[in-house]
Structure 1
Amino acid sequence: MSARAALADALQCQDGGWSCMRITTLLVCVVVLGMWVAFCFIEGRFVPISWEMVTLVAGSQGAKAAQLRFELGRGGLASYDPSEGEGLR
């Protein structure tokens, strides 16, 4: 699997459509962690990551996890059938 196919697979819903929540979560992680790494290089030393940055990354990941749990219900990914549509069963 190519990197492009893996990225497309990570950003798509279970039904194959693009997921705005997944794209937003990826952008938050890339921007926040990218800024942290850049500032470590700019300062020339390790800069401890702030609680605000940790909260942004953890909050976006937690929100995506909660959304997926709500959409798929108790059964999780194992019980998902795309023919049933989206939402709770």
Structure 2
Amino acid sequence: LTKSVAVHCANEGFNIRCNSIHPGATLTAILKTAIEQMPEVEEACKRMSPLNRMGTVEEVAAMAVFLASDEASFCTGGQYAVEGGTVSQHPRM
């Protein structure tokens, strides 16, 4: 969908870029609550990533800020994983 929308917007001259952000295990309020109730969730999430940690909401937000900035003016149709290498380590995910 991201690529289709990006191509459509470009072809129509809309001057709209379309990208998607794919976060991995991110330490949100909901995940913090789950960890409080089931501490094993934290280790399971960490093991999924080669970086051996979960992401932060600030790291996901930083990608969004970058993609919305002029520095990303030539980025469209991209799918950006903010997941600490999880998919690289587990390609079938």
State the TM-score, normalizing by the size of structure 1. 0.34
Instruction: State the TM-score, normalizing by the size of structure 2.
Output: 0.33
